[in-house]
Amino acid sequence: MKLEGKAAIVGYHEYPHIRKFTGKRKFTLGQWADLTRLSLDDAGLEASDINGLVCTEIRETVSFTPATIVEYLGQPVNFAERVDLGGASPVGMVWRAAAAIELGLADVVVCALPGQPIPSNPNPGPVDPRRYFQSSSVNWGSPQAEFEIPYGNLAQNCGYAMIAQRYAAEFDYDPRAMAKIVVDQRRSGALNPNAVFYGKSVSIDDVLASKLVADPLRMLEIVMPVAGGAAVIVANEDVAKRCKHRPVWIKGFGEHLTMKTPTFAEDLCRSPVGPASAKAFEMSGVTRSDIDACQIYDCYTITVLLTLEDAGFCEKGEGMEFIRSHDLSCFGDFPVNSHGGQLGMGQGGGAGGMTQVIEGARQIMGRADQRQLPRCDHVYVSGTGGIMSEQAALILKGD
């Protein structure tokens, strides 16, 4: 089974990333509807064209999520799916949309991820434990509640720091090369009006002078939480050919999950994006040397480093040298996250990874303005959920 590559991203919308959101607050259902409207407009389609949707969790219900959204949008669908892959969800949503389209289940599928704050509840009720424990589950019977949280191993920073520390013990670790990932990406991000760091580039010394959060990771190597949100429209070949933009064909994908807590990874230095990417390349028939741009999920610098290695753009252990010897900015010889990545844009919660999908589409459509690459026909996109727990990859192609 493989994709024929006959489903395409035809439109998108991305909310500007804002550190302190002061606009009118909408429920996630309202944001879903608004993002759908704006991305349909972008494609040149109408509400009634939609007959499929892929979502993640929303704030207004714990279950029956797709039906709740369908009802709110007022658009019946033939295909609906809720994806639960953390930061890998956006990539997971897009390939599921493409697969449903190729199976003939739907013609136009909307994938949206609200990321703005919702109105304050006048009757707030008890505090949600996720406020403190974030993605770690404190529910009774959860392995994390018993064997991780009591030791303080929770949320994301310490897990990624332990990956970096292990990498440093096994391979070359160069803090200046790690900082250069941020510097190169922020150079692109400084040109992205949707980025929280628009107009704000940094130097290697700035990164190394930022606060140590969890050794060896520093503040500027970690995404800043922001208000965001994004949606893409995926459509079949007939629809794609009458939309406004150059179609962005979804040629291959892969997905791989190994654990929830990194303690239970067999090898912390070899991440699930390896098998996910191998599958995506094999399915697409595209080779690594065909790739014009990489949009790599970048919650932390270490995620970018391991993805470059594990996806096969360089050998294991050679990532630091690869970074030192390439310019990763949108003006460089090996563009990575030409939108600034999430390190440059900020992370709009679960919508963060959709910025990578959208920048891939934007570059292929030729709509990246000052950041536009001279040639962009093949893009590699990765998504990372949890702590390198669940990862997915996409190969996008323009004709």
Stretch that binds another protein, among 33-41, 42-50, 150-158, 229-237 (CB under 8 A): 150-158
Stretch that binds another protein, among 87-95, 154-162, 245-253, 320-328 (CB under 8 A): 154-162
d(CA 171, CA 137): 32
Note whether 124 binds another protein by CB under 8 A.
Answer: no
d(CA 10, CA 18): 26
d(CA 182, CA 204): 8
Q: Which backbone phi and psi does 43 adopt, to 5 degrees? A: -80, -25
Segment 215-244, which members bind another protein (CB under 8 A)? 215
Q: Find the shortest distance in angstroms from Cβ 167 to another protein.
A: 9
Closest CA to 221 of 239, 208, 235, 240: 208
Q: Find the shortest distance in angstroms from Cβ 243 to another protein.
A: 46
Three-state secondary-structure class, residue 317: coil
* Nearer Cβ to another protein (158/365): 158
Q: Give alpha helix (H) positions in 190-244.
A: 204-209, 237-242
End-to-end CA distance of the chain: 23
Note whether 181 binds another protein by CB under 8 A.
Answer: no
141, 238, 333, 399: which one binds another protein (CB under 8 A): 141
Note whether 68 binds another protein by CB under 8 A.
Answer: no
Note whether 204 binds another protein by CB under 8 A.
Answer: no
Stretch that binds another protein, among 159-167, 292-300, 311-319, 360-368 (CB under 8 A): 159-167
Q: Find the shortest distance in angstroms from Cβ 148 to another protein.
A: 5
Note whether 175 binds another protein by CB under 8 A.
Answer: no
Q: Spell out the long-range contacts of 117-121 with Cβ–Cβ below 8 A and sequence spacing 24 or more.
A: 117/21, 117/25, 117/227, 118/25, 118/26, 118/27, 118/28, 118/59, 119/25, 119/26, 119/27, 120/25
- Under DSSP, the state recorded for 92 is H
Tell me the site size for another protein, rule CB under 8 A. 37
User: What is the x/- site pattern for another protein, positions 258-277, by CB under 8 A?
Assistant: ---xxxx---x---------
d(CA 335, CA 293): 5
* Nearer Cβ to another protein (152/374): 152
Note whether 210 binds another protein by CB under 8 A.
Answer: no
Q: How many other C-beta atoms lie within 10 A of the C-beta of residue 244?
A: 12
DSSP-derived secondary structure for 266-291: S-TTS-THHHHHHHHHHHHT--GGG-
* Nearer Cβ to another protein (159/385): 159
Stretch that binds another protein, among 91-99, 142-150, 174-182, 288-296 (CB under 8 A): 142-150
d(CA 314, CA 137): 35
Stretch that binds another protein, among 38-46, 163-171, 337-345, 365-373 (CB under 8 A): 163-171
d(CA 179, CA 156): 19
118, 138, 204, 278: which one binds another protein (CB under 8 A): 138
4, 46, 71, 146: which one binds another protein (CB under 8 A): 146
Note whether 64 binds another protein by CB under 8 A.
Answer: no
Binding footprint of another protein on the chain (CB under 8 A): 127, 132-133, 138, 140-141, 143, 145-155, 157-158, 161-163, 165-166, 168-169, 211-215, 261-264, 268
